[in-house]
Amino acid sequence: MEENILIKFGKRVREERVKQNLSQEELAEKAGVHRTYIGMIERAEKNITLENIERISRALNLSPKDLVD
């Protein structure tokens, strides 16, 4: 069975965050969201909005496409 898009997205965010040596708190601050929100995204507990996908991708210096492919 294909992996859920929320799970894929959360894994990509975590992978890129760790690769860039950022804590969840640091990424949240750069993206302008709450620290707990990043954790919820990484655990696929939140259905993220397009606006927040853009915020997080910018904070990671990536395009939104890089996080959803």
pLDDT tens track for 41-65: 999 999 999 999 999 999 999 999 9
Per-residue pLDDT at 69 exceeds 90: no
If residue 8 lies in a helix (H) or strand (E), which one and from where to where? helix 5-19
Over range 18-43, report the average pLDDT: 97
Q: Domain 5-59 belongs to what topology? A: 434 Repressor (Amino-terminal Domain) (1.10.260)
If residue 2 lies in a helix (H) or strand (E), which one and from where to where? none
Position 2 scores a pLDDT of 61
pTM for the complete prediction? 0.91
